[in-house]
């Protein structure tokens, strides 16, 4: 026992910051088998594992870690997949430090078990060994479900519903499936091969994926029900960009994070001109906000050749919503931070291209609804930052296409779909929803957790 605890938390090898800030290859390189086994041996196999209570989909954490310690890597991957169908993705993008790992008992005195890294290792091992098995699909129930949107929520529910024996068709608006996993999160954090592999796995299980169909434009949700789908699941995400509505915001060179990341990731503009879609390559780039999306945009700008990339945020580092690891990676790569700073106006050159961003200094005042101290402007403290490109990454809103075209579908005052939390049921019979379109922009694993519950509810409904 005492010997076990002496093993230090295994670091994952990473690309050197100087090198990686010039390429789009994945930053962390993954554990070797030896490292994974060592790390797995740190887990003390708690009888009442607190770590599991921190995981929104109840992964059998001690169970899969024990299998890794026994070098049964494929077995470990299958154990995880008992409750989490996308481990290679979650192992990479889950905010483990505030979920499973936060509650790991070892974290009390020292460092928690690296659950996320082990999860990633097991899933990568299985995929690279070509050991992924398509589960047996039960006899057809004769029921059909339409899943709108192919993000983590849609992919998860599709997988669960086919395993219940229902026929599933996913409708995706873009030309490529995966939602934010494909168009938002960059290659250097989540290689797209992994997402593609998950989708082809679903297809092997019999899920039909139809791309290039925006439900609500042309075909509506009611059309799907009329066509004979017995239930519809809406996993359409929180896709509409938020701007600040300040003067000059439509100048050339000012992007929403959605546009910037979609150009780079979905359209592969970082490989222009091999791919046709262009992207501005700013030299002095400001990125507004402080979430994961901000860090992804900032690190993308560096990789596209910027000399200076500055994150501009109106609060302080403590309030930054991004994962600690992302902020750390961004800093290592040379992203600068201008905190307690808020833009108030953009200045353009004679061609209408942004050349300056007027900002005001902020200070922290009383706590607001979210419990965070509210930033307040300091009068007369305006100053101008030289920029030739800006990415606005201050959040997203619900896309109104589905609510507006689905009569009787109840939404809240921000436009998110109202559901029963336990079942994902909406105000309309046979229509369910989950993921960001219900919660607002959240996390991959929460979207998956909601989809899992809803899969069970839909299964009951179809009986």
Partner 1 sequence: MNRIVKKTQLSENVFRMTINAPQIAEKREAGQFVVIMTEEKGERIPLTIVDSDRDEGTVTIIFQVVGKTTMCLAAMKKGEDLFAVLGPLGMPTEMEDFGTSVVVGGGVGIGVAYPIIKALKEAGNKVIAIIGARTKDILILEDEIREVCDRLIVSTDDGSYGVHGFVTDVLKDLIDSGETINRAFAIGPVPMMKFLCEVTRPYNIKTIVSLNPIMVDATGMCGACRVSVGGKTKFACVDGPEFNGHDVDFNLLMNRLRMYNVEEEEARKGCKCHE
Ligand X SMILES: Cc1cc2nc3c(=O)[nH]c(=O)nc-3n(C[C@H](O)[C@H](O)[C@H](O)COP(=O)(O)OP(=O)(O)OC[C@H]3O[C@@H](n4cnc5c(N)ncnc54)[C@H](O)[C@@H]3O)c2cc1C
Residues of this chain that interact with ligand X (CB under 6 A) are: 93-95, 148-154, 171-174, 179-180, 184-185, 214-216, 235-237, 239, 261, 292-293, 296, 323, 399, 401-402, 435-436, 441-445, 447
**C-alpha–C-alpha distance, residues 41 and 51, integer Å:** 16
- Residues 18-47, interacting with ligand SF4 (CB under 6 A): 43-46
Neighbours of 239 (CB within 10 A): 21
407 binds, among ligand X, partner 1, ligand SF4, none (CB under 5 to 8 A by kind): none
User: Which one, of 99, 57, 65, lies nearest residue 82 by Cα?
Assistant: 57
Closer residue to partner 1 (CB): 351 or 370? 351
- Residues 290-349, interacting with partner 1 (CB under 8 A): none
User: Which one, of 50, 446, 405, lies nearest residue 235 by Cα?
Assistant: 446
Applying CB under 6 A, the span of 101-109, 281-289, 366-374, 410-418 interacting with ligand SF4 comes to: 101-109
Q: Token digits for 164? A: 């219940």
Closer residue to partner 1 (CB): 341 or 399? 399
Q: Token digits for 287? A: 């990125």
364 binds, among ligand SF4, partner 1, ligand X, none (CB under 5 to 8 A by kind): none
241 binds, among ligand SF4, ligand X, partner 1, none (CB under 5 to 8 A by kind): partner 1
Contact 122, 68 (CB under 8 A): yes
Interface residue with partner 1 among 400, 420, 422, 460 (CB under 8 A) is 400
Residues near 266 by beta carbon (within 8 Å), at least 6 away in sequence: 174, 176, 182, 183
Note the maximum CA span of the chain: 71
Contacts 24+ apart (CB under 8 A), 209-212: 209/150, 209/169, 209/170, 209/172, 209/177, 210/169, 210/170, 210/171, 210/172, 211/172, 211/174, 211/175, 211/176, 211/177, 212/172, 212/173, 212/174, 212/175
Q: Which residue has the tokens 């007027």?
A: 358
Interface residue with partner 1 among 243, 407, 418, 421 (CB under 8 A) is 243
Interface residue with ligand SF4 among 14, 15, 17, 50 (CB under 6 A) is 50
The contact set with ligand SF4 (CB under 6 A) reads 43-46, 49-51, 55, 57, 59, 61-62, 84, 90-91, 94, 96, 99-100, 104-106, 113, 115-116, 119, 445
Give residues in contact with partner 1 (CB under 8 A).
173-175, 211-214, 217-219, 239-241, 243, 245, 249-253, 255-256, 258-259, 262-263, 267-268, 272-278, 280, 351-353, 399-401
């Amino acid at each position: 026992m005492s010997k076990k605890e002496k093993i230090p938390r295994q670091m994952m090898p990473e690309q050197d910051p100087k090198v990686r800030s010039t390429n789009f290859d994945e930053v962390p390189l993954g554990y070797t088998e030896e490292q994974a086994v060592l790390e797995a041996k740190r887990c003390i196999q708690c009888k009442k594992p607190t770590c599991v209570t921190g995981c929104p989909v109840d992964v059998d954490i001690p169970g899969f870690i024990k299998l890794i310690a026994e070098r049964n890597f494929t077995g470990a991957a299958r154990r995880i997949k008992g409750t989490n169908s996308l481990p290679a993705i979650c192992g990479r993008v889950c905010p483990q430090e505030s979920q499973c790992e936060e509650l790991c008992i070892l974290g009390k005195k020292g460092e928690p078990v690296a659950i996320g890294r082990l999860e990633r290792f097991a899933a990568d091992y299985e995929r690279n060994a070509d050991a992924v098995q398509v589960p047996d699909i039960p006899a057809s129930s004769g029921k059909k479900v339409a899943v709108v949107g192919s993000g983590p929520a849609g992919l998860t529910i599709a997988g669960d519903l086919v395993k219940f024996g229902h026929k599933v068709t996913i409708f995706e608006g873009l030309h490529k499936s995966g939602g934010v996993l494909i168009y938002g999160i960059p290659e250097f954090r989540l290689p797209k091969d992994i997402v593609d592999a998950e989708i082809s796995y679903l297809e092997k299980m019999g899920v039909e994926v139809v791309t290039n169909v925006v439900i609500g434009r042309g075909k509506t949700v009611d059309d799907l029900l009329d066509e004979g789908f017995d239930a519809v699941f809406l996993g359409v995400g929180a896709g509409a960009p938020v701007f600040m509505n300040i003067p000059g915001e439509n100048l050339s060179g000012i992007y929403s994070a959605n546009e910037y990341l979609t150009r780079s990731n979905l359209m592969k503009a970082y490989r222009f001109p091999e791919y046709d879609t262009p992207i501005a390559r700013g030299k002095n780039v400001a990125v507004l906000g402080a979430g994961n999306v901000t860090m992804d945009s900032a690190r993308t700008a560096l990789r596209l050749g910027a000399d200076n990339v500055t994150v501009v945020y109106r609060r302080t580092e403590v309030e930054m919503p991004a994962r600690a690891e992302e902020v750390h990676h961004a800093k290592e790569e040379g992203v600068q931070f201008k905190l307690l700073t808020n833009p108030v106006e953009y200045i353009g050159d004679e061609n209408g291209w942004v050349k300056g961003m007027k900002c005001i200094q902020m200070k922290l005042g009383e706590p607001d609804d979210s419990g965070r101290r509210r930033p307040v402007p300091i009068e007369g403290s305006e100053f101008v930052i030289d920029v030739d490109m800006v990415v606005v990454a201050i959040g997203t809103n619900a896309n109104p296409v589905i609510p507006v075209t689905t009569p009787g579908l109840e939404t809240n005052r921000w436009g998110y779909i109202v559901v029963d939390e336990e079942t994902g049921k909406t105000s309309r019979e046979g229509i369910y929803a989950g993921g960001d379109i219900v919660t607002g922009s959240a996390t991959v694993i929460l979207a998956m957790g909601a989809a899992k519950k809803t899969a069970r509810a839909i299964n009951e409904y179809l009986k």
